[in-house]
Structures are given as structure tokens and as C-alpha cells.
A = this chain, B = another copy of it.
């Protein structure tokens, strides 16, 4: 849609620095003139029995209804017998693909300057099944579950994404030389989908080898698709190549066309409320959300404004070695839109 009728989108500012960086995002989206009406939902202080977590059922209903949302960091207090907020979201909303583009930022120097890849992670099963038990004392097991349905779905998404974004190659990451059946099924599904996209190159890379190549020569990778845990690992590794989670956007694709963009960094309680947080990852995630809504012009303008502000180097938050406050950095980005 490019009409001016307002689009309703859910906003989970999240914990810690979440509310501050969400404020920044609202500002830049405003300045870019995107008519978004936010439905804000805060992480609760009591466990909702329907979600078994601090995330309320109403929050989830909001995303289900709007089909689009933006999420800040959510810290899950450990060992309280309730579900992780992030896992609750993935499960309840059927967020089957986590998409993380990872591009070297001109102007923010790291050891790498040619990273231009996208990790697409299966987000619902695999090593995250939650199925674990003690067999006998001193012997425990976890189940990794791979299904044809979830593997096909994420593979379809990866190839669809590659084609829609002018990408040339999809690499399926696996350890099928060891987990022949589970990762073997995942690969088989990728191959079936690959056969329907003759214009996209397809390859299979063992995860250990992939990690070695990523640190030696990340420029050789394009789109990577993989089971849950490998995605967790490789997306963070890739983020590290360009400067860390404070600079990398992410977006989750869910059942029924849901798109939930999210910053995957932590809630940084130590600097929360001090106007020191870096809102870049959440801004870039919002850009992904805008592209999903086909506000491509506005997305481009915000994206370029962020890149320019970072390249300028005058307004940088402390995590990037600068001295800017969150609000000054945000103002600078707004100024470039």
C-alpha cells in the first residue's frame, strides 16, 4: 500500500532500552511520513496463563490481527518456570522464518568490508523442540525434531526471498554427514524447492566449514538457509562480521503472512533509561517492516539516512565508540531523511 490511509501495526517496545529505541523508531517513521498507527503492548509483570509467559494474550492477538509488528528486546527472567518470551512469540505466532540481512556498513569499519549476505533460519523446531529428559541418573537427552513441513516452508521462503531480492545463490547449511536423518531431511526439502528455481544457484555447505569460510571470506556467501540452532549461531557470527547485533536488523515471517520485525540484541539494563542506547538495529528492522508493507520509498529514505549518519561519524552512540545520546543520533538520522 502507498495510500495515506493509516496502517495499524503492533509495537512491543520490550524491556530495558526497548522503550527508548522504540521512541526513536517512531520518530523516524513519522518524519518519513509513513502513516503508521501503533498499537503498543508492553511485556506484562504477571504471567498470563494462556501464554505461560509475561507476554499477554492480547499482545499476541494484536499481531494476529494487524499481521505486522515491531519488537524491541525482551529479557526473560531465568528459572521461574515460565516460558521464554521470544520462544512464546515464535510458537504462538508460527514465526517460521527468521530473516537477517547482514551488510557491511560503509563508514563503520570492521575487519570485513564486503559482507552482503542474508541468513534465513528455521525458527520453530529442530534443537528448540523443548523435548528433553533424564534417561537415567547422569544421562540426559534432548530431541532435535526436523519435519518435512517446516523444512519445506522455510526453504520455500528462502528461494522466494532470493528471487524477489535479486539474489543469485542459496546455500543450505547442515551437518548431514553426522545427522544423516534429520539434517538429511532438511537438505532433501531444500533440494526439492531448489528444483523449482532453476535461476537460483543452490549449494550445500557443512556448518563447520561454513563458519570457517565466513571468517575467511564472507563475500562468497549470498542467501543461507538452515535449521534453527545453526541459524542462531550463524546469524550472530555474521552480525559480528559487520559490528554486532546493535547494527543488524531482523524480521520474522509467520503463519498467515505475519511479519514481525525485531532487534535481536539484548535489553541492556545497565544503560536503560539513560538516553545512551543505540536504536540502529531496531530502525533497520523497521525498514524491513516498511518494505514488507511496500513503503519502499520511505524505507529507502530511512535506510539511507541511517547509513549516512553512521558514515558521517559525528553522531555515534557509545557502543560504536561515539559520544552521542540516543536522541541526538535519532535527530541526526531524522535530519537526513
Q: Which residues of A contact B (CB under 8 A)?
A: 78, 84, 110-112, 127-128, 132-135, 137-149, 175, 177-182, 184-185, 207-209, 211-216, 229, 232-237, 239-241, 243-245
Contacts and interface: CB of A to CB of B under 8 A. Distances in A.
A181 B133 contact: yes
Contacts of A216: 110, 240, 243-244
Copies, count? 2
A147 to B, nearest CB: 5
Given A211-B211, A236-B209, A178 B128 contact: yes
B141 A229 contact: no
Nearest to A143: B141
B139 A147 contact: yes
B240 A215 contact: yes
Pairs A-B, 4 closest by C-beta atoms:
A138-B148, A212-B240, A215-B240, A208-B236
A213 B240 contact: yes
Contacts of A132: 179-182
A144 B147 contact: no
- Where chain A touches its partner, the secondary structure class is mixed
A193 to B, nearest CB: 15
Contact of A212 (B127, B147, B178, B245): B245
Residue among A149, A177, A208, A243 having the largest count of chain B Cβ atoms under 10 Å: A208
Which interface residue of A140, A213, A229, A240 has the most chain B CB atoms within 10 A? Answer: A140
Contacts of A240: 211-216
Contacts of A243: 216
A230 B78 CA distance: 23
25 contacts: A110-B216, A111-B215, A127-B175, A127-B178, A127-B179, A138-B149, A138-B185, A140-B185, A141-B144, A141-B146, A142-B182, A143-B144, A144-B144, A208-B232, A208-B236, A211-B234, A211-B240, A212-B236, A212-B245, A213-B240, A214-B240, A215-B237, A216-B240, A216-B244, A233-B233
A116 to B, nearest CB: 16
Contacts of A138: 147-149, 185
Given A208-B235, A212-B236, A212-B239, 4 more contacts: A140-B145, A140-B185, A214-B240, A215-B215
A142 B139 contact: no
Contacts of A212: 236-237, 239-240, 244-245
A146 to B, nearest CB: 5
A129 to B, nearest CB: 8
A213 B133 CA distance: 31
A255 to B, nearest CB: 18
Contacts of A215: 111, 214-215, 237, 240-241
Nearest to A134: B181
Nearest to A213: B240
A297 to B, nearest CB: 33
A236 B8 CA distance: 46
A184 B138 CA distance: 12
A152 to B, nearest CB: 9
